[in-house]
A and B are shown apart, each in its own frame.
Chain A
Amino acid sequence: MKRSQRDLHQYDIAVIGAGHNGLVCAAMLAKSGKRVVLLEARQKIGGLCVTEEIAEDVQGSVCAHLVHGLNKRVVSDLRLSKHGITFADGFQSTIALNEDGQHLTLTRDVAETKNNIASFSTSDANNYLKFDERLSAFARVLSVLADEPMPSIVHAAKGDERQWHKARQALAKLPADQSADFLHALSSSLADFLDDYFETDLLKGALAHDAVMGNALGPRSPGSTLGLLYRRTTELLGDPHYFGHPIGGIGAISDALGKAALEAGADIRLGADVTGLNVIDGSVVGVTLEDGQTISARAVVSSLDPRKTFLSLLPAGTADLRFLRKMRHWRCEGAAAKVNFALDAIPEFVGLSEEEVTRSRLLICPSTDYLEFAFNHTKYEEFSDYPALEIVIPTALDPTLAEPDQHVMSILVHYCPLHVKEGWNKVRDRFVERIIRVLTTFAPDIADVITAGQVLTPADIAQDFGLTGGHWHHGDLSLDQSFFFRPDAAAMHYETPVPGLYVCGAGSHPGGSLTGTPGHNAAQVILTREKERA
């Protein structure tokens, strides 16, 4: 490329959205010498991974609250250890709460978990090893595909054959009987899949909860097992040291990624709300901000959800119709809510020590049926009286968030519809009451210690964070929206049908959760493609 040509644009690449994937992508591109600008609509980087005030003088992880699969390559390529992330000494285990006080603790240690399960069912305990091994074996196959851009199905490009070969090899490593199980697992429902291994409701409920997290899928929805495999895949690709609650809240991860991006030379602009993509001769050549300012770039990368990128930012008449139709049908109605309480004491949970309460992830999801019943309501624009809850109280181990006598209870609620019949303003309090009522069953004095609270329904997340439908993962993680179809066969390689426009968000391959994998993969592709275009 000639110098004069290059100088026509202010930047080589403009990245829209400073969520973790946008940050990773911008940092990787800047590291490779590109002149990068990262545009964030909010006044803070991080997207859904932010630590903000949840009540007066109390900080908390507003949306996402735990790390369990930050990609190893992101950690090493961006040298995150240098930017000062430390993790709280805890949150390595999950306690599935039982109404009778006989709880089940699941840890990262399989043998220990097996022993814990044994007090419920010996056959489940025995099967747990097999289950865990299979899950890991299946995840190893998927991780080959997830850790790189997807190989093409039809038009084999350079490198595709190598990647297909790797995937075939991984599949071939599965014992003969397991390869059929693997394909079956990809499309089966969680309830059926878990029933094949276990009889203990509490165990199945806990495993099912983690698999549907953030998705508008119930444990009886066909294909919901993919969520279980996906979670294990992200853990496999994730750095095992980056696990649990980072000191300073989840925003600490974003801050470190931001430092890495700045250090690599990227410009980060806050309050830069992109309202449109600028197109000349069919190619995207920059963006327009809400204040009318334009920023020109040789290429634009969007880390926003596919609907926002293609249906709202891209001007009409720029992309072909079949592709746009698919984007209009992209399912991204959020189904999870986040509720953050400020507490003036650690609540007592029946059958748990204070140490267990403050060092573990607590789950209220006693069975797959409980979860499915909670899901039923979302289909009819209602919320359930008995939601499933994932609870973290990080403040005992993280003094940076609040004063010593103040605590944060961070709760992920399943399910919560995007719209409710009555309108959220009318029923928001009732929604919180239901959650408190469920909590009271396990922690009778909870109502006495809550001093303030914050509720984020999918509608709030959509509004506050600019996510269509307020979906945690920018779109349901189901087979028809994964791999070749995330977000569509025409955009699965992060390249879109519109020249100069790329995607790198959770709505692209391999998907959501705090992994940084889409952003990292996208940067690889963009560097190669931009070299070809130059």
Chain B
Amino acid sequence: MNTRPSPSMSPTPFHLRTARLCLSNAWVGQNGWTKVDFYTDVLEEYWALRNGAGIHDLTGLLHYRIVGADASSFLDYLTTVNVGMMPERTARHVLWCDDQGHVVGDGILYRLKPDEFRLFTQQSSYLWFADASVGFATVVEDVSRNFGGLAIQGPDARNVLQAVGLTDVAAMAPMEVVETTIQNVPVLVGRVSSGAELGYELFVDANDAPFLWDELAHHRILLTSPVGVSAFHTAMVEAGHPRLGFDFLSSETTIRGRRSVTPMELDMNHRVDFNKPHFIGRRALEQKWTAPPHQKLCGITYDGPGAFSGCPIRSKGTDVGATTSIVWSPKLARHVGLAWILTSAMSGAEPLELHAHIADELKAEPVSVPVSVGPRRHYRSATFLETPVAVA
């Protein structure tokens, strides 16, 4: 049966636990669920994630189960990556495009078995998946409401999981996936981390969600802290992961054609593999492949008075781009974030400036701040890729 999340707001499966801890009473909505924005203090939560182990309620991500004899060939048709070559028990970041090669959505794909996958996305693409799956022996099911998911990130993340009995995680390499149990409760673990830390995602049946929370949050020896949306987002921007709906738009929702973007404009050429059967948008991408992209989603940093999201970037007084997500990075002690910038302005020859206004009583004070443009990844912890050698 295919189910879709109901449009009304509802608490997450972790609500009874998170609500007790949410002293700020600051809640935000995501895809129909209410989530904690910050529990007590954003900075405290941020440092817990960077220095210890932060736990974040992943509800709000849409969770699709894709099974059937043709699941792999369906996903090869749907996405731009080579799913057929994806080993079992691994995860990948995947994109799916429309006929024009414009990105419709992105997400993390888990391959559990040769014919069973899970796909996690920020925005619903259910109709797109359902339409694309016609003719394939596969079922696409929205199971977002059937599961509870937690992210645990930070240098202590592995120790915490081992301490609660998840011994299998010790040898897990980045983007590896394991189906295991904690005290006989089935749990799906992926070493997937959006905050550039050593991190894991854990999914259990929605009914077991409070159990999972209790196991991770109330460990007697190792300290873990709940992390709200704000701190989690800060880590994500530092890691340079663009978010669908914020940093770029799905071509299913854009009104002006220029707002639709190609994988090349997202600098995700490595997510497009022509060495596989036809996929949606293939012919358009083949045509556009060699032409330099018109614009690119870049990383920018600056020292300045505020986090100016959605502000113009100028070169010699002309608009050449705009910021999307900007955060104050506690780790780097600067403002960091993402911006769309015309490729023609990226030679570095001309200095780029960010233009914004600061409210000053009755008038707005214009400010311009020099920015440096570079790769999107602003930060990655030393433990992000580290995997201990498995003990025989």
Contacts and interface: CB of A to CB of B under 8 A. Distances in A.
Nearest to A317: B77
Given A282-B277, A324-B131, A316 B136 contact: yes
Given A322-B98, A497-B99, A317 B131 contact: no
A524 interface: no
Nearest to B96: A321
B283 interface: yes
A495 to B, nearest CB: 12
A323 B99 contact: yes
Nearest to B284: A320
B280 A320 contact: yes
Interface string A485-496: 000001000000
Question: What bracket does the count of chain A residues touching chain B fall in?
Answer: 10 to 19
Nearest to A312: B135
A522 B281 CA distance: 26
Interface in B268-292: 277-284
B280 A321 contact: yes
B73 A317 contact: yes
A192 to B, nearest CB: 33
B132 interface: yes
Contacts of A320: 98-99, 280-284
A19 to B, nearest CB: 26
Contact of A321 (B132, B136, B283, B284): B132
Nearest to B279: A317
Nearest to A282: B278
A325 interface: yes
Contact of B277 (A317, A323, A324, A497): A317
Contacts of B136: 316-317
Interface in A477-516: 490, 497
A316 B138 CA distance: 12
Contacts of A322: 98-99
A318 interface: yes
A320 B284 CA distance: 10
A315 interface: yes
B276 to A, nearest CB: 11
A153 to B, nearest CB: 15
Contact of B131 (A282, A315, A318, A325): A325
B110 interface: no
A321 B98 contact: yes
A497 B132 CA distance: 16
B135 A315 contact: yes
A317 B135 CA distance: 8
B267 to A, nearest CB: 23
User: Which of under 10, 10 to 19, 20 to 34, or 35 or more describes the interface residues of B?
Assistant: 20 to 34
Contacts of A317: 73-74, 76-77, 135-136, 277-279
A497 B278 CA distance: 12
A276 to B, nearest CB: 11
Interface string A282-326: 100000000000000000000000000000000111101111110
Interface-central residue, A320, A324, A490, by most chain B CB under 10 Å: A320
A497 B101 CA distance: 14
Interface in B110-142: 128, 131-132, 134-136
A497 B282 CA distance: 11
Interface in B180-201: none
A324 B282 CA distance: 15
A136 B135 CA distance: 46
Contacts of A318: 278
Interface in B40-99: 70, 73-74, 76-77, 98-99
Interface in A313-346: 315-318, 320-325, 328
B257 to A, nearest CB: 11
A497 B284 CA distance: 10
B99 A316 contact: no
A323 B282 CA distance: 13
B278 A316 contact: no
Interface in B246-279: 277-279
A322 B131 CA distance: 9
Counting chain B CB atoms within 10 Å of each CB, which of A315, A317, A322, A324 scores highest?
A317
A317 B128 CA distance: 14
A316 B98 contact: no
B99 A321 contact: yes
A175 B281 CA distance: 46
A316 B134 contact: yes
B100 to A, nearest CB: 8
Contacts of B77: 316-317
A209 B281 CA distance: 44
B144 to A, nearest CB: 22
Interface in B123-176: 128, 131-132, 134-136
Contacts of B278: 282, 317-318
Contacts of A321: 98-99, 128, 131-132, 280
Contacts of A325: 131
A473 to B, nearest CB: 25
Contacts of B281: 320
Contacts of B131: 321, 324-325, 328
Contacts of B132: 321
Contacts of A490: 99
B22 to A, nearest CB: 41
B238 to A, nearest CB: 35
Contacts of A324: 131, 134
Given A321-B132, A325-B131, A282 B99 contact: no
B104 to A, nearest CB: 9
Contact of B135 (A282, A316, A497): A316
B349 to A, nearest CB: 34
Contacts of B282: 282, 320
A239 to B, nearest CB: 40
A328 to B, nearest CB: 8
Contacts of B74: 317
Contacts of A323: 99
Nearest to A314: B135
A316 B132 CA distance: 9
A68 B122 CA distance: 58
A316 B131 CA distance: 11
B302 to A, nearest CB: 40
B357 to A, nearest CB: 40
Interface in A159-179: none
A177 to B, nearest CB: 37
A27 B136 CA distance: 37
Interface in A104-136: none
Contacts of A316: 70, 77, 134-136
Most A C-beta atoms less than 10 A away, residue of B73, B74, B77, B128: B77
Nearest to A498: B278
Nearest to B132: A321
Interface of B: 70, 73-74, 76-77, 98-99, 128, 131-132, 134-136, 277-284
28 contacts: A282-B277, A282-B278, A316-B77, A316-B134, A316-B135, A316-B136, A317-B73, A317-B74, A317-B136, A317-B277, A317-B278, A317-B279, A318-B278, A320-B98, A320-B99, A320-B281, A320-B282, A320-B283, A321-B98, A321-B99, A321-B131, A321-B132, A321-B280, A322-B98, A323-B99, A324-B131, A328-B131, A497-B283
Interface of A: 282, 315-318, 320-325, 328, 490, 497
3 tightest A-B CB contacts, nearest first: A316-B135, A320-B99, A317-B77
Given A317-B277, A321-B98, A325-B131, 4 more contacts: A320-B282, A320-B284, A321-B132, A490-B99
